Amino acid sequence: MYAFNYHRPASLAEAARLLASNPEAKLLAGGQTYIPTLKQRLARPSDVIDIGGLAELKGISEEAGGVTIGAATRHAEVAGSALVRRLIPALASLAEGIGDPQVRNRGTLGGSIANNDPAADYPAAVVGLGATVRTSKGRAIAGDAFFTGMFETALEPDEIVTAVHFPKPEKAAYAKFPNPASRYAIVGVFVALTGGGVRVAVTGAAPCVFRATALEQALAASWSAAAIDGVTIDPSNLNSDIHAQADYRAHLVKVMAKRALAAAG
């Protein structure tokens, strides 16, 4: 990897100052994506700011009937949280299926959504549950507006994710068809019945997580697997790669949606 200056700030405020004063600086949380990127010399930051140890970015709490999770909270902590399992079991189940034990014990919620890998699991939960992303600039960004494209988000260059608030749904579940090696989602579907209606978020299938509005409309009329039998998923904007072609991913969207519905009840 290329040489860089390493910083381990003692507070979020210090991290924000370092990020704002060094235009070529990058944040490090769990490092599950960024460390391999550095090793392969695919990035050349002037400074790396390690925020993974900041206590103010960690923790899980109940808020407004839902769950608020700090950005530096590990996947394993979400998966094992009694609070998350009680209020939003679908979220705990999703976290439990990320990667392998090593990844789950290092990777963080904030790092996952800030990186916005097209095949990551957490973006499906953020969009599927209508979550709100909170930042170091005091912004509260709706999940629907947070993910803007492949590896792109609504974050400003010197902005840090601090927490995510997930409202409690009436019913919800997540199902994915994983890559057998990485456990990334070839297709993952999060379904939720919320006070605001039905939400269906799809990850892995396209360059960015998206809401499957045709499935939402069908499920709004009837919350059942049979309701989506007649829905056609357009493959024209879906990914094709060595793992799966676009038409197969389109097929998997419905299959995973039905599995998620069965799990949601």
pLDDT at 249: 98
pLDDT digits (tens, 9 = 90+) for 111-139: 999 999 999 999 999 999 999 999 999 99
Supply φ then ψ for residue 34, to 5 degrees. -75, -35
pLDDT at 59: 98
User: For the whole model, what pTM was predicted?
Assistant: 0.96
User: How many other C-beta atoms can be found within 10 angstroms of the C-beta atom of residue 167?
Assistant: 19
DSSP 149-168: ETTEES--TT--EEEEEEPP
Query: First and final CA of the chain: distance in angstroms?
Result: 48
pLDDT digits (tens, 9 = 90+) for 191-213: 999 999 999 999 999 999 999 99
pLDDT digits (tens, 9 = 90+) for 216-225: 999 999 999 9
3-state SS assignment for residue 74: strand
**248 contacts: CB under 8 Å, gap ≥ 6:** none
Burial label, 161 (beta-carbon count in 10 A; 0-12, 13-18, 19+): buried
pLDDT at 9: 97
Mean predicted confidence (pLDDT) in 228-255: 97
CA distances from 3 to 37, 38, 39, 45, 47 (A): 13, 10, 11, 8, 9
Rounded to whole angstroms, the Cα distance separating 167 from 5 reads 39
